[in-house]
Amino acid sequence: MPATGWVKLRENCFVNPFSIEFFYGGTPPSDGPVSPPPEPPLRLRAVQAVVTGRCNLMCTYCSARIAGGFKGDMDSATLDAVLSHSHPESLLLVTGGEPLLHPAAVRTLIRGWSGQSVLFTNGSLLDRGTAQFLKEYGTALVVSMDGFESEHNRFRGDSWKSAAAALDLARETGLPAGISLVTGPHNARSLPESLYGLLERFAPASFGVNIQHYTPGAFSPITAEEYSRIILGAYRFSLETGVFVDQVARRLLPIVTGHFRHRDCAAQGGKIVFRPDGSVSSCVNTAGIEEWGNRNPVNNPFCVACPALGVCGGGCTWDGIHLTPTGCGPDPRNCVWTLDLLRAVSKTVEERLPDSVVRPSRGFLTSLFENLCRRAGSPLAQSLGHGEEDR
């Protein structure tokens, strides 16, 4: 790492990964930090309640289907254990399986939770009464939809119409709703262009454009380069429309705040997952509490000279463990798209920078990007279970 902390990102552009700053032209100044700031104190930011292991779909890429402890329905004792962690500043994520196969548990948790809450569903069982209940309690909805009908149904059964009906019902009743899609061979060609069509058709408050997690025996991901192309398109989409895109937003937030991003997922510390059988873990894909804090990029020699060090957080630890030869590095796909996105962001800054300014201020960066990465109000305007937004 150069003594100044500045690293060349692309022609005519340097970035300081420790202070999350850009410099354009010439030689960057010799000031600035040359080591990451201390990690912020950990606190419980997200509680995930997997209320049932049952699902009425059999999506081929679903990592939840093969995770241990996903059998049966959550009982009252486990529901009480979840609610013992209720806090006004903690986010409740209600998932399954298909959580609406256990509607009593959904209602119990949402009624008893003091902070924000989000229900993740395939949409097939959402009715007007449930939508109105969710709205009454300030709960947001996230519906799984991988694009339009032909793309979605290829990996998710004949379920597009029911997902579309759920999104239409949410819009009708004024229930905040987002769309979560998983990228794969079924929709890579149509993304990111289909985001515009989905926005026009359903007017969701947010999108998640998710890379496919490692799943033993059913792993058919697109390449890192294909996913990077999709994310760069999603970035342009977010710039043009102002719509929150999770994967883009959580890389933009450190640029806006200047806060070094130590971890990309609350499973690295700050999240607890309750399973239907009563067991707990830190990640939905693992069966026990994992100590993953030492896997942060600042502790990895592979990462320390990377210009994206301050915005990355290391990606998904589960994928890094399974997709690197040694099992101790970051998910290599994460490295490709994060660096490509940082280059695209730096190009946007350069294009909009006033003449003669070579070091954009934090205020200038905030004016460009803050509306894309955090907003007051709906829990859908934050990265769900992946952020360090509490700082």
Relative to beta strand 271-274, strand 206-210 is unpaired
Residue 294, pLDDT above cutoff 80: no
pLDDT at 284: 86
- Could you check whether the bond before residue 325 is cis, i.e. omega within 30 degrees of 0? no
Q: Give residue 286's pLDDT band: very low, low, confident or very high (50, 70, 90).
A: confident
So what's the pLDDT on residue 389? 47
Across 344-360, average pLDDT: 96
Sheet holding 140-144, edge to edge: 244-245, 206-210, 177-182, 140-144, 117-121, 91-95, 46-50, 271-274, 280-281
Interacting residues of 63 by C-beta distance below 8 A, sequence separation 6+: 213, 214, 215, 284, 285
In single-letter form, the type of residue at position 174 comes to: G
Does pLDDT of 391 surpass 60? no
Q: What is the pLDDT of residue 362?
A: 96
Please tell me the least confidently modeled range out of 68-72, 81-85, 240-244: 68-72
The fraction of the chain above a pLDDT of 90, given in percent, is 66
pLDDT at 298: 86
Average pLDDT for 321-326: 84
Structure confidence at residue 388 as a pLDDT band (50, 70, 90)? low
Tokens linked to 32: 């600035």
Distance CA 99, CA 276 (A): 11
pLDDT at 299: 83
Give me the pLDDT at residue 133, please.
98
Domains defined for the chain, CATH in brackets? 46-261 (3.20.20.70)
Kindly report the average pLDDT of the chain as a whole number: 90
State pLDDT tens for residues 93-107. 999 999 999 999 999
| 11-29 residue pLDDT tens | 999 999 999 999 999 889 8
In this prediction, residues 174-200 reach a mean pLDDT of: 96
